[in-house]
Structure 1
Amino acid sequence: MKFKHKFIILVLIVIYVFNILPFSISFAEEFYEDKETLNFLNNESSLSEEMKKEFKDLLENLFSQRNDAIVSGDCDLLKGFYDLNIKVSLWAYESEAKKTQYLINWSEKQAVKFRDLKSIVRIRKVAEKEPGLYGVICDVATDFNYYYIDSPDIINHFRLGTNHYLNLKKENDKYIITKEWYTDPFADSLDIKNIKSEEISKYILEHQPPEFIPNERQLKAIEYAHTYCGISEDDNFIFKYNSKYKNHNPDGGDCANFASQILHEGGGFKKNQLWNYSGKEGTKAWLNAQGFKNYMVGSGRASYIAKGTYQQTYKAAFNMKPGDFVAYEKKGRITHISTVTGFDSKGYPLVTCHNTDRLLVPYDLGWSNDNIRFHLIHVHY
């Protein structure tokens, strides 16, 4: 076979493979496939419950300091947990400082202030990797409480869930973070550039929540999303998904799978040959973010409200209703799906989704880079 023909066949194979993969690449894939993390999960002996309690208290203090840094805007509060002379520890600190600054920038754009943040920590495993060096894997649910600057008495609330792997080194009477990886809800967007914040803030502040009464199918979709998002406000249900479905985060992402569940289990949309899930496996339209968006719009079960950058679409977003969904495009492909399940006190759309787990989070938070395109999709219930 001639080289040209071989090359064409190879290109076709690559195109085929990338279009049938039932997931979108995300930081979750890197987290679960990190060799050190997997070796730690599989091979290291876990410490006693007493030691787990010690590290739980330590980490709750760590996340409390991080939360205070966001509220106060003072990143120096974080420095005590790092050794800035160690490169990886310095990088971990700088990463947290950048995320803190991003949240401050976002709040200014949004015309809100964070009142307080509170984190719930669940220790999954603690093990001594070498004398004085400990590995910890934990789940963290963080509640964010905020208010708009023109109505400080009205408190809005959302919750984020993250999975963390940390190396902690004991130095004298305290522990220092030498490494940290986690499923980061802001990994895809840490910049707010060239955005007319004053114009956006003014527009948002002019709004009030709409008078919206969901129909029965929309109501059930909302209830399903809030129950199985992984960080339900029922504290006995934190970090749990619906066991009927495989958690596809280790495969690269579970966002489309969860959005499909919301529409089927909650919204009553029937499965078919193209959009289907059975035996812990699903079709591309069910599991793949790009495939899900294309199927929903192409089948007539949904239609476009708007598409474009944040500045091009933020006004149209106020037309979204609970049960609709947002598809996030990066580098020409849809990489994430989240479902609108409520409004805040200004009628700003709030979304619920998997990887990372979000409950009633402002739809653009974590998606502020100028290369992100928003697809605002209305679902026909």
Structure 2
Amino acid sequence: MVIIIKLKRSIVILLVVSFFTGSGLGIYFWNSGGQVSVTTMDESSNDMLFLKVQEIFEDRNNALLIEDRSLLKSLYDGEVRYSLWAYEHEIKKMRYLHKWSDKQGVNFTEINSEIIVKRASKKDDGYSLNLLVSTEYKYVYNDSLSTSNSFRIGTYHSLDLMPREERWVIIREWYKDPFADSLRLDQVKNQEIKDLILANEPKDLSELNPRRVKAVEYVDRYSGAASLPKYEFQYNSEYKNYNPLGGDCANFASQMLHEGGGFPKDGTWRYERGAGSRAWVNAHAFNQYMIYSGRASRIARGSYEEVLEASYKLLPGDYVAYEKGGTVGHISVVTGIDSKGYALVNSHNVDRHRVPWDLGWSDQSVKFWLVRVHY
């Protein structure tokens, strides 16, 4: 198979954005348009920096795609502790992506990143940058190579670049990676799962309830850094962004149900005066509210192997809840299916758009709730 590596021409936008750090919450450059803000840099430096960033992400995507550890290593300085940590994380990510693709019976064919430089400044001999990165992954199933599928993941990066001999390298990088905790996929019985996945076909979704259709339209539009470029990588500014406060996934699912699905607020589940109730914004409380209120019902709960067959019952507008240690910590909303009928989801926290529902959640300690919403 011919493997194509393509870094799409990125859009550079002017804006001053807030830089949030602390308490393990990380860094978020939340969904404001604008162009690159570069301090103490002339136009030629600006252009040079943008090209260097493009080149580094293109090489890294290439390395991840074809498992080229030598190329990946060349993007970091092994003598610098933070750079070494960043490299080691990308190695883990590389392993996970290829383990997952083997389990799934797919091959990744392209990884394309759109980069928005939100902020850049000189730092010693190099630069310090804040980036919004929207990455599209394309894949095909092993038994249907002519049919391409894709999903998008949005990440927010803080990184330092420094010159080393004839190239620039990453000296420090932080971003919230959706694959960070998925390091135990080798425990899954790949062949049994692969056979089940490859045996499936997509179901007809042409007769969906119109409320489900509107719900999906809403979350596709407001998937942040993972959304399609025509939506400008935005959240809905009418709602508070809870990512710096612990996570925005339940808030996003609640917005979908109210704004798109037409569910009325009530005394328990509500958003008013710029803030949401616990059932609106907390993943565990949201899941409990939906089920005990009768607005939703459980299709299945269990490990990946236990719920895989039941996952084909999911419809756009339903949701998946991810439980660890007895507590639901994340909500993703179902938005579609791929060419084998595999459910795809959108979410906030790490922004996802039409991503396979288990990707990034392969730890054996995770219990999946597959939940039918009653529109």
Q: Indicate if the aligned counterparts of 1:56 and 1:121 stay in contact, CA closer than 8 A.
A: no
Query: Per residue, is there more helix in 1 or in 2?
Result: 1
Letter of the structure 1 residue corresponding to residue 78 of structure 2: L
Q: How does 1:1-381 map to 2 (within 5 A)?
A: 30-32=24-26, 45=39, 47-48=41-42, 50-129=44-123, 131-212=124-205, 213-231=207-225, 234-381=228-375
Q: Indicate if the aligned counterparts of 2:27 and 2:158 stay in contact, CA closer than 8 A.
A: no
Deviation at 1:171, TM superposition (A): 2.5
Higher mean C-alpha displacement, 173-182 vs 45-54: 45-54
Distance (whole Å) between structure 2 residues aligned to residue 219 and residue 291 of structure 1: 25
Secondary structure (helix, strand or coil) at the match of 2:72 reads helix
Letter of the structure 2 residue corresponding to residue 240 of structure 1: Q
Secondary structure (helix, strand or coil) at the match of 1:241 reads coil
Distance (whole Å) between structure 1 residues aligned to residue 353 and residue 314 of structure 2: 17
Distance (whole Å) between structure 1 residues aligned to residue 143 and residue 247 of structure 2: 38
Deviation at 1:235, TM superposition (A): 1.8
Query: What residue ranges of structure 2 are gaps of 5+ in the alignment?
Result: 1-20, 29-37
Letter of the structure 1 residue corresponding to residue 76 of structure 2: Y
Secondary structure (helix, strand or coil) at the match of 2:132 reads strand
TM-score using structure 2 length: 0.88
Secondary structure (helix, strand or coil) at the match of 1:81 reads coil
Q: Indicate if the aligned counterparts of 1:338 and 1:353 stay in contact, CA closer than 8 A.
A: yes
Q: Indicate if the aligned counterparts of 1:231 and 1:237 stay in contact, CA closer than 8 A.
A: no
Task: Tell me: CA distance 1:371–1:47, structure 2 relative to 1, closer, same or farther (3 Å).
Answer: farther
Distance (whole Å) between structure 1 residues aligned to residue 350 and residue 72 of structure 2: 23
Secondary structure (helix, strand or coil) at the match of 2:187 reads coil
Q: Indicate if the aligned counterparts of 1:226 and 1:232 stay in contact, CA closer than 8 A.
A: no
TM-score using structure 1 length: 0.87
Task: Tell me: CA distance 1:124–1:52, structure 2 relative to 1, closer, same or farther (3 Å).
Answer: farther
Letter of the structure 2 residue corresponding to residue 313 of structure 1: V
Distance (whole Å) between structure 1 residues aligned to residue 260 and residue 22 of structure 2: 26
| Deviation per residue, 1:92-130 (Å, 9 max, x gap) | 11110110110000000000000111000000111123x
Deviation at 1:248, TM superposition (A): 1.0
Q: Indicate if the aligned counterparts of 2:227 and 2:233 stay in contact, CA closer than 8 A.
A: no
Task: Tell me: CA distance 1:233–1:88, structure 2 relative to 1, closer, same or farther (3 Å).
Answer: closer
Aligned residues: percent identity?
45
Q: Which has the larger radius of gyration?
A: 1
Letter of the structure 2 residue corresponding to residue 119 of structure 1: S
Task: Tell me: CA distance 1:237–1:211, structure 2 relative to 1, closer, same or farther (3 Å).
Answer: closer
In the alignment of these two chains, the number of paired residues is 345
Deviation at 1:174, TM superposition (A): 2.2
Distance (whole Å) between structure 2 residues aligned to residue 255 and residue 217 of structure 1: 20
Task: Tell me: CA distance 1:265–1:50, structure 2 relative to 1, closer, same or farther (3 Å).
Answer: farther
Q: Indicate if the aligned counterparts of 1:188 and 1:369 stay in contact, CA closer than 8 A.
A: yes
Deviation at 1:163, TM superposition (A): 0.3
Distance (whole Å) between structure 1 residues aligned to residue 106 and residue 328 of structure 2: 29
Deviation at 1:206, TM superposition (A): 0.4
Secondary structure (helix, strand or coil) at the match of 1:65 reads helix
Letter of the structure 2 residue corresponding to residue 228 of structure 1: Y
Distance (whole Å) between structure 1 residues aligned to residue 125 and residue 312 of structure 2: 53
Letter of the structure 1 residue corresponding to residue 347 of structure 2: C
Distance (whole Å) between structure 1 residues aligned to residue 25 and residue 54 of structure 2: 21
Name the structure 2 match of 1:24: none
Letter of the structure 2 residue corresponding to residue 309 of structure 1: S
Secondary structure (helix, strand or coil) at the match of 1:142 reads strand
Letter of the structure 2 residue corresponding to residue 257 of structure 1: N
Secondary structure (helix, strand or coil) at the match of 1:193 reads helix
Deviation at 1:53, TM superposition (A): 3.3
